[in-house]
């Protein structure tokens, strides 16, 4: 891999118009605004990108647009997860052909699989993918945790598996990944999926965070990362307080993608905030809660 992913990587939502069709103009405006910030890369077609409700060919077309819009200015990760191993391989091969830098793959989320079957799933992907592969652990949504032992085995056996986004609400899980997986393999990257664990992850030797809040408040997450690098922990503490307030937004709606899009719009970017069915737009009461959170977190005045 010709680069090292690190720091703050926003999981960018996919922008759709009122007819639920991909909106390249809105998507382009969002990417351009993020390019002007200090974010260290992009993740497209992850959970916030609504990959699971998009048809196969649409995922390819959106991935290609995003890679072309970024145009090599920062690293791009494409989410290529599917319950089908072969579909993951096809999407990952496509991501390589359009010039992405890496792919991220959450585990299959319908059939509960043994660790051995999960191992074989990821090993087949790693051996077939032209791009480096990051694991994505999100057990509250997939119904299955990627165990430390499984991740360690994959890191040991598959050089093309280069890291993990760990969205587990337990800092000890990330700690074990850093010490037990990254320890024996120092180039293995560990990213927190929960915004609030960002500084803790960095402090114990992790590589960064993939936080949805960075789509509308990158000055906070990027500010924490910069403060960490500069050992300015007074600034980091002040920004962490704001980040903790903003992180409350994840609990006010499920899925939270609509709230992320509304927060982007409220923060000053003119985009449509349509979400794909079966999700629906946040209702008035939820939007009011969102405004209150954004105001308390200093995003809105």
Residue numbers annotated as active site: 47, 110, 136, 165
Residue 290's alpha-carbon distances to 82, 238, 294, in angstroms, are 31, 21, 6
CA distance 74 to 41: 5
- Name the packing angle between helices 24-35 and 56-70 (round to 10°): 40
CA distance 105 to 3: 19
CA distance 284 to 166: 32
If DSSP codes are grouped into helix, strand and coil, which group holds residue 99? coil
Burial 72-111 (b: 16+ CB within 10 A, else e): eebbbbbbbbbbebeebbbbbebbbeeebbbbbbbbbbee
Q: Find how far residue 60's CA is from the centre of its chain.
A: 18
Q: What is the C-alpha end-to-end distance of the chain, expressed in Å?
A: 42
At 234, give phi and psi (nearest 5°).
-65, -45
- Name the packing angle between helices 284-296 and 257-266 (round to 10°): 60
């Amino acid at each position: 891999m010709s680069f090292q992913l690190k720091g703050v990587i926003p999981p960018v939502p996919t922008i759709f118009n009122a007819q639920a069709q991909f909106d390249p103009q809105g998507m382009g405006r969002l990417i351009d605004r993020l390019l002007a910030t200090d974010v260290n890369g992009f993740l497209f077609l992850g959970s916030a990108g609504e990959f699971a409700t998009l048809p196969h060919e649409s995922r390819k077309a959106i991935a290609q647009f995003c890679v072309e819009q970024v145009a090599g200015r920062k690293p791009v990760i494409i989410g290529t997860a599917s319950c089908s191993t072969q579909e993951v391989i096809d999407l990952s091969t496509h991501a390589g052909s359009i010039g992405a830098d890496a792919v991220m793959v959450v585990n299959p989320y319908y059939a509960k699989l043994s660790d051995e079957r999960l191992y074989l799933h990821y090993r087949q992907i790693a051996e077939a993918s032209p791009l480096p592969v990051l694991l994505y652990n999100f057990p509250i949504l997939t119904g299955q945790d990627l165990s430390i032992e499984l991740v360690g085995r994959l890191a040991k056996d598959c050089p093309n598996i280069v890291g993990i986004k760990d969205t587990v609400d337990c800092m000890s899980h990330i700690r074990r990944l850093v010490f037990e997986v990254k320890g024996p393999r120092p180039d293995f990257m560990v990213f927190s999926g929960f915004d609030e664990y960002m500084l803790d992850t960095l402090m114990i030797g992790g590589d960064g965070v993939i936080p949805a809040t960075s789509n509308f408040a990158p000055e906070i997450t990027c500010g924490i990362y910069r403060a960490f690098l500069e050992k300015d922990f007074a600034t980091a503490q002040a920004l962490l307080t704001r980040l903790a307030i903003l992180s409350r937004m994840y609990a006010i709606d499920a899925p939270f993608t609509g709230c992320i899009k509304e927060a982007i719009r409220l923060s000053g970017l003119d985009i449509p905030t349509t979400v794909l069915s079966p999700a629906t737009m946040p209702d008035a009461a939820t939007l009011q809660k969102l405004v209150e959170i954004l105001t308390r977190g200093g995003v809105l005045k």
